Structure 1
Amino acid sequence: TILTPPLKINDVGFLHKSANQLNLQIYSSGVNTVNLKINDKICMNGACFEKKEFNKKFFLEERYDDFFAEILERKPLYDGINVMTNSCGFIQDISKYSIKYEVCGKNISFFDAKNRIKIIIKELQ
């Protein structure tokens, strides 16, 4: 599930990671509806943006370059500020940015209350 002002999807997809690129492919009824590639730029369905420009469109704020990649890779945000580890991963409550972010095993939950953004990724078995 990805709910942001420019993108609203709740479908199944694949996340491929190589040495210098992430590729998120989302499918709806067997059709690739979103193809997002992150390397030196972020490209979505063929339209490429500088990372800060993409973040401003997608997250409604500039954020730092690797912000979205860190979410997809299940890494702590903002250099690990306010990280609390738990039995399956970690939780971050970054009230300065109205963000609640949790990684539990292969699952990701990201909520930005200020900008009404929700990203929930669950690995299917």
Structure 2
Amino acid sequence: MLSLNRIHHTALIVSNYEASKHFYTEILGLTIQQEVYREERQSYKLDLAINGQYCIELFSFPDPPQRPSRPEATGLRHLAFEVDQLDDTITALSAHGVVAEPIRVDEHTGKRFTFIADPDNLPIEFYEK
């Protein structure tokens, strides 16, 4: 049997590097651990962390193809962040012009959650602790 410790990171290819960098750092508040421009690929790689823990890699590539997300397609469904207070999160997002979907309640856990979209329309979930 495999001995997995935890999810190390999620990698995202973005269509507009500067817009996504702004969204994930200035709006969601992730911190930059490292930013590298790879000349041979004409690509940026941005390593991001939550509370000092490495979690997301953002990549830029010239003209990446669109990936269908609605209707839902095979592949990554969404990225989810745990938050202490969902209402506070929605208020903070709203201050940046980010619109959250109506709050839902998980039928199995009773926990509240909502979704937003990142600059590439990737669904991002906020799940109340």
Classify the TM-score, shorter chain.
under 0.3
TM-score (norm 2): 0.27
Q: Which has the higher contact order (CA 8 A, sep 6+)?
A: 2
Structure showing greater Rg: 2
Answer 1 or 2: which has greater strand percent.
1
TM-score (norm 1): 0.28
